[in-house]
Structure 1
Amino acid sequence: MTIALQYCHITVNDVDESLAFYRDALGLALKNDVASGGFRWVTLGSPEQPEVDIVLSEPHAGRSQADGDVLQELLTKGVLPITVFRTDDVDAAFERVRASGAEVLQEPIDQAWGPRDCAFRDPSGNMVRIQAAKS
């Protein structure tokens, strides 16, 4: 038996605004854009991991009103789980994302536990970290 990650969901306020961040600033490729019931699910991925997809959707997409409301509250507070990407050049990735106008939370630094990384907020307030690939 094998098991592997296939999808990672990121909840966002505005799919189009977030698409610009994840596609244009981070460099992920658009794979799918599905509309249903007044909502959209946009799937992106990296050529480095074609089998792993990131799905962007709004808090109420595919959820009950009550569940969507709770998720919206957590998104607004900025307390949803962070997403960590890896790259072979943290400094170049940092400059590319910063040039997009994203909110910088941490410039690239060498962490005491090993990796060099940086951090941003996406347009919805989710924390996104970019970390050096292990050598």
Structure 2
Amino acid sequence: MAVRRVVPNVQSSAVRESRDFYGLLGFEEVMNHGWIMTLGSPSNPAAQISFMADDKTAPVTPDLSVEVEDVDAAYEALRASGAEIVHPLQDEEWGVRRFFVRDPNGRVINVLGHR
């Protein structure tokens, strides 16, 4: 299983203020869908952090996003292990295929792949 990046997701109602604050540390806005904004390091594109009020299509806001090379294989492996699937595998309108799973610490993980 190849991991492409890991992004912490911060539930926030202060998105603009977060962009300004983390901008002082060198982060720049790399994505903004209105309900989720991702900041990234210009010198290290895999160094990212996202801020969201609520998830657009899921019942919970994930704590962490893990982008994998093969999201379908990850889904099958986690489902077969008995892990709790919190949000089903589905294609999203913004170009990702994803599902949510609960880790052993109770954290909700958004596992995704880009189409």
Query: Smaller-chain TM-score range?
Result: 0.3 to 0.5
More strand by share: 2
TM-score normalised to structure 2 length: 0.44
TM-score normalised to structure 1 length: 0.38
Structure label with greater radius of gyration: 1
More helix by share: 1
